[in-house]
Amino acid sequence: MQLAPRLLGGVLGYRAADGEVAIRLSEVEAYRGVGEDPGSHAFRGRTPRNDVMFGDPAHLYAYFSYGMHVCLNIVARPAGTSSAILLRGATVVDGLETARRRRPGVRDRDLARGPGRLSKALGVPLDADGGDLLAPPYSLRVPDSPLHHASGPRTGVSGVGGGAAYPWRFWLPGDEGVSPYRRHAGAVDPTS
């Protein structure tokens, strides 16, 4: 869980055919691997869907969520193990016009506020799964030291691997890129 909060304030850029966008990360969620974290895609082992989670760190694990959104994760452990950090919220810091074209009619603060919005604003497609985030068309810079952050339950994770049992959501308090907290029944909003 040490890497997840270190990403906060980091800048991720992506160059697509229609332009380049960079975002500053303001919210992430950490997920561990096989047998460790029931909320993780890797909990039950390696599959074709989660294969990238078992590969080299600093690679992109992209998946389709609810049949409509691409979600982006950063692989966080050495090859052969599994862990990923979901990119939940950010602010566009470069390529604002390109992000606006990709998400017409959306307020600037909402362009990358939420995992599906974030991938859409960046222009990263599902087939980018496995991409090396330290090589073009990506760029990734993290702060030299951790920024002041808060932590709490993961968003929308229920059951045994639910939010309260795994408070691995990290965010920059007061940052406009932090997405709204979505709780399950009985959960308390940690940002209020």
Q: The domain that contains 128 carries what CATH number?
A: 3.10.300.10
Quick check: is 120 in a domain? yes
Quick check: is 181 in a domain? no
For 121-136, write each residue's pLDDT tens digit.
999 999 999 999 999 9
- Rounded distance between C-alpha atoms, residue 11 and residue 91, angstroms: 9
CB atoms within 10 A of CB 136: 10
% helix, strand, coil for the chain, step of 5? 15, 30, 55
Q: Global pTM?
A: 0.91
**What residue numbers bound the domain in which 141 lies?**
3-171
User: Structure tokens of 29?
Assistant: 């969620």
Count of domains forming the chain: 1
For residue 77, the 8-state DSSP code is S
For 107-164, write each residue's pLDDT tens digit.
999 999 999 999 999 999 999 999 999 999 999 999 999 999 999 998 877 666 556 7
